[in-house]
Structure 1
Amino acid sequence: MERRKIIHIDMDAFYASVEQRDHPEYRGKPVVVGRPSQRGIVAAASYEARKFGIHSAMSAQKARQLCPALIFVPSRMDVYKAVSAEIHKIFHEYTDVVEPLALDEAFLDVTENKSSLLATDIARKIKEEIRGELGLIASAGISYNKFLAKIASDYRKPDGLYTIHPDKAQEFIDALPVEMFWGIGKVTARKMHSLGIHNGAELRKCSLEMLKRNFGKNGTLYYDFAHGIDLRVVEAERIRKSVGCECTFEKDLAGHTAVIIELYHVTLELIERLKRSDFKGRTLTLKIKFNDFSQRTKSITVEKPLFTKEVLLPLAKKLLREMDLEQKRIRLLGLSVSHAEESSSASTPSPIQLSFDF
């Protein structure tokens, strides 16, 4: 069996923890990163806030109802990015095969690494360095594939360290509730429950044909995960597929002029992000969310690369004209560019037959 040694590092309540680190008066108190306005959304919540049932993507009003003493702090994305860069420096002390998933999490392939340590010891050292050098807490999961490493990192949060050894993997998966499987959300879990599937053991008893019939192409993924299979490699260089931005408005937009003005501002923000990312694509997508939370998208693909106002703004207006707004008020406008002009994929090293010792 071709086995690798993969670590998943996930920072605990990252944004909120950075704020508590930098502001001692917030420590031990319920803190969320976000705006306390009527239309504000919680971007991150400290563990003290989570005890009240507060979580990311919750409305600020709901969060305030759950915890009247809640502390709101504005987002400092530049700071979070800088801290993330410091975290990645620590990762690269041990391996250069690092795949970022977000500012606060990444996969590391330590099958071949810069130390003589076991994978579990590397994960422990990384946690210690993040705590000692940056004053932050990370959780780590270790296993032979991405699926299990990610589950392991969440298994004993916060400040977790958990290893799923290949010899124990199937036993672990069999006992795992389907809700904890990567890629299975609430809707899919409810459908599985209706089919008598509640844990990994019951999922493993299902045939591939049955899972594909009920869950489409994801059926194959669930079948593999139930059998402990995940052949995805850790990609040290991830190819950017799109660049986008969106704006949720304090008050719903009504009227053509107001929409055009905001579309102009969103287009300018998109252009700045394209420049920073050095990204040029040929497909522009407009996303609109209405005040009833319904959502529509419309795209257009052109021959020339999209990165200037002269090209992007007329196309954005064209998409808007073609969108049936039905006189609805608009809550959110978003634009994204995809279909990269040039793309290249890094070569993937072939798996190596290894003895496996965590």
Structure 2
Amino acid sequence: MEKTKAILHLDLDTFFVSVERKLHPELNNRPVLVGGLGDRGVVAACSYETRRYGVHSGMAMKVARQLCPAATVIKGETVTYSKYSNEVTEIIKSKVPAFEKASIDEFYADLTGMDKFFGTYRFASELRQEIIRESGLPISFGLSRNKVVSKIATGEAKPNNQLLIESGNERNFLAPLSVRKIPMIGAKTFQTLLGLGVREIKTIQEMPVEMMESVLGKNGRTIWKRAHGIDDIPIIPFHERKSISAERTFHRDTIDMVQLNATLTAMTESLAYQLRRGNKLTSNVSVKIRYSDFNTYTKQASIPYTSADHILIPKIEELFRQLYNRRLLIRLVGVKFSGLVGGHYQINLFDDSQEMLDLYNSIDRIRNRFGEDSVMRASTIGGTSIGGRANSFDGAPPMLYAHRQS
């Protein structure tokens, strides 16, 4: 007989705000905004006290301050948040044999079979208390037989609480909740469902799956299944540290620093775009060099979670300068991003403006529609790089772009 699955979802409550409150206890129970300090900054995180005023993450800081003028505004520090995220990761890693780090502040763990020895709910409760005790940060969890129901349960448990959904009770738990609680239902899909008179999950449960498919296509079936508490998405173990990489072997071995820097910049820009397209962040970057004598060397560095070009490109350039010291001709260069987790690059924009966020979004929309090479840095036009792309490197500002003519 197959064992009933037991999937735990853990989420650090208002993570950035909680870290700031740990470091500055005087902020407890006060409205707090974390993000860009200027009027054109972006809200990366907000405390529960601000939400009653209509404040939410991703909002322009100027608007948030108008809605909640009493809020304390703090410029975020990605280095600090990454440090605490890694501390919590190590605690979970020491206690759970198989877990997934879904984002900087979100985890899944497969506790199936542990009830025979400990009781899964008791184990999850003790794990949560240990995280709170060791890290000093509030954390909530949901426990059920699959990832989707557990994630929704965590949302209902917050703030700083826990919730068990017994096997067989998934539909009853979900029925009265808003359809917005179902992962993958964004604003557009929500409006479509509202147009059908669908507000609560219970209504979807009463609809035939064919109707959902006719309105929402293949996503309709997935949403219908999730409304019934059905989900078979597996845990992706964190030790399988996913990575993406790019390499370029030159037709002729080279020592041309213009060409080498241009190639590294182009590869980094391409990989960063892939991260954003997949809603991923990297925490480890590396550069590879293969010399003309075929000796190969790599240098890597741990970095705060990011997917932003203007952070990654200077780091890759720095690693290359540290690595290249033999003064031999180079046959190959490569760039690799690893330690990937889910998350939006907005966490890197604490000290940047809405203009930069809009620029990234606009550039990525152009690439999504017309192809990755449809827009590039103006500073890379004129040389040779990956994929036959023309470019050069001249130290121009990293956010200067030109639209490629077809």
Shared fold (TM-score greater than 0.5)?
yes
> What's the counterpart of residue 337 of structure 2?
277
Does structure 1 residue 239 correspond to structure 2 residue 242? yes
Q: For 1:274-301, what per-residue CA distance to the aligned partner results, in whole angstroms no more than 9, with x for missing partners?
A: 957259xxxxxxx994699795224348
CA separation of 1:265/1:174 partners in 2, compared to 1, >3 Å: closer, same or farther? Answer: closer
CA separation of 1:265/1:167 partners in 2, compared to 1, >3 Å: closer, same or farther? Answer: closer
Q: CA RMSD in A?
A: 3.7
Decide whether the 8 Å contact of 1:94 with 1:113 is kept in 2.
Answer: no
Does structure 1 residue 322 correspond to structure 2 residue 404? yes
Alignment of 1:14-25 (within 5 A): 14-25=15-26
> What's the counterpart of residue 377 of structure 2?
none
> What's the counterpart of residue 337 of structure 1?
none
Decide whether the 8 Å contact of 1:18 with 1:136 is kept in 2.
Answer: yes
Decide whether the 8 Å contact of 2:36 with 2:61 is kept in 1.
Answer: yes
> What's the counterpart of residue 172 of structure 1?
173
Decide whether the 8 Å contact of 1:289 with 1:296 is kept in 2.
Answer: no
Give identity over the alignment, percent: 30
Q: Structure 2 counterpart of 1:109, which letter?
A: D
Whole-Å separation in 1 of the counterparts to 2:190 and 2:154: 21
SS in 1 for 2:44: strand
CA separation of 1:224/1:102 partners in 2, compared to 1, >3 Å: closer, same or farther? Answer: same
Whole-Å separation in 1 of the counterparts to 2:55 and 2:390: 36
Report the number of matched residues. 296
Q: For 1:119-175, what per-residue CA distance to the aligned partner results, in whole angstroms no more than 9, with x for missing partners?
A: 211221122112211111001000000110000001021012011111211212222
Whole-Å separation in 1 of the counterparts to 2:37 and 2:357: 23
CA separation of 1:69/1:314 partners in 2, compared to 1, >3 Å: closer, same or farther? Answer: farther
Q: For 1:217-263, what per-residue CA distance to the aligned partner results, in whole angstroms no more than 9, with x for missing partners?
A: 2112112112221011111036346842799xxxxxxxxxxxxxxx9
SS in 1 for 2:169: helix
Does structure 1 residue 85 correspond to structure 2 residue 56? no
CA separation of 1:141/1:177 partners in 2, compared to 1, >3 Å: closer, same or farther? Answer: same
> What's the counterpart of residue 371 of structure 2?
299
> What displacement does 1:26 show?
2.2
Q: Structure 2 counterpart of 1:91, which letter?
A: I
Whole-Å separation in 2 of the counterparts to 1:4 and 1:205: 26
Structure 1, 313-322 or 19-28: larger mean CA deviation: 313-322
CA separation of 1:211/1:170 partners in 2, compared to 1, >3 Å: closer, same or farther? Answer: same
Structure 1, 147-156 or 122-131: larger mean CA deviation: 122-131
Decide whether the 8 Å contact of 1:264 with 1:313 is kept in 2.
Answer: no
SS in 2 for 1:72: strand
Whole-Å separation in 2 of the counterparts to 1:321 and 1:47: 42
CA separation of 1:111/1:288 partners in 2, compared to 1, >3 Å: closer, same or farther? Answer: closer
Q: Structure 2 counterpart of 1:35, which letter?
A: G
CA separation of 1:64/1:293 partners in 2, compared to 1, >3 Å: closer, same or farther? Answer: farther
> What's the counterpart of residue 311 of structure 1?
385
Decide whether the 8 Å contact of 1:93 with 1:114 is kept in 2.
Answer: no
Whole-Å separation in 1 of the counterparts to 2:5 and 2:119: 12
> What's the counterpart of residue 304 of structure 1?
none
SS in 1 for 2:141: strand
Whole-Å separation in 2 of the counterparts to 1:153 and 1:264: 33
Whole-Å separation in 2 of the counterparts to 1:205 and 1:316: 56
> What's the counterpart of residue 334 of structure 1?
none
Does structure 1 residue 65 correspond to structure 2 residue 66? yes
Decide whether the 8 Å contact of 1:175 with 1:201 is kept in 2.
Answer: yes
Q: Structure 1 counterpart of 2:366, which letter?
A: R
SS in 1 for 2:175: helix
Normalization by structure 1: what TM-score? 0.72
Q: Unmatched 5+ residue regions in structure 1?
A: 248-262, 280-286, 302-307, 325-358
Does structure 1 residue 27 correspond to structure 2 residue 99? no
Whole-Å separation in 2 of the counterparts to 1:188 and 1:164: 26
Decide whether the 8 Å contact of 1:154 with 1:160 is kept in 2.
Answer: no
CA separation of 1:226/1:70 partners in 2, compared to 1, >3 Å: closer, same or farther? Answer: closer
Counterpart selection for 2:313 from 268, 272, 275: 268
CA separation of 1:275/1:39 partners in 2, compared to 1, >3 Å: closer, same or farther? Answer: farther
Q: Structure 2 counterpart of 1:211, which letter?
A: M
Decide whether the 8 Å contact of 2:242 with 2:338 is kept in 1.
Answer: no
Normalization by structure 2: what TM-score? 0.64
Alignment of 1:47-58 (within 5 A): 47-58=48-59
Q: Structure 2 counterpart of 1:322, which letter?
A: R
SS in 2 for 1:296: helix
CA separation of 1:320/1:65 partners in 2, compared to 1, >3 Å: closer, same or farther? Answer: same
Q: Structure 1 counterpart of 2:137, which letter?
A: L
- Following superposition, which runs of at least 4 residues in structure 1 exceed 6 angstroms of deviation? 291-294
> What's the counterpart of residue 5 of structure 1?
6
